[in-house]
Structure 1
Amino acid sequence: MPKLGHMALHTHKIDGETYAFSWSPTQTLLDALLQADLPARYSCMEGHCGTCQCTLTGGPSHMLNNEVLSNYEIVSENQVLACQTIRDADGPYHCSFDD
């Protein structure tokens, strides 16, 4: 596995607006968005409800917990739960709540 840089610049799209943010390899996608004061859809923050479901492209990632998404949604549609997703490479990544 390649060594991850400490921080990298990524993009986030929600409600037709695109934002840039930093995402540490040790934090979840949702934590990175909230730390950057960016809008994001979420509720339980535990991988149970699916409110934070979004499309993530740009590199490999993994989810700590997932009780919502099917394997097809994850593999074929690049869907993740932002509250549970950790990046596995430097990216840059693009997440979208609009897709």
Structure 2
Amino acid sequence: MEFIVYILYSKKLNKNYIGFTENLNQRLDFHLNDEQSRKFTHKADDWELIFSIECESKSQGLAIEKHIKAMKSKVYIENLLRYPEMKLKLLEKHKSI
């Protein structure tokens, strides 16, 4: 089983969406499927995967997702993309026990 934290970006909305999944392809399909108008990602049809990080466990993945969301910062996300070592630091900081 895989545990992945991912970030989608919509140019149309100029927004990011941060999520966690155990099946990235299925989850991406869900976000790009426009049939469920309740979900946030329904507001745009141009979402693209810009970042993903594979985690050791569900608890590590959820902790990393929570950390990224808590930053509430486009600059932080830009830095995640720019500096690969940040990914390693996140994995180490939220290492599974």
Q: Does TM, normalized by the shorter one, top 0.5?
A: no
The higher radius of gyration belongs to 2
Larger fraction in helix? 2
Larger fraction in strand? 1
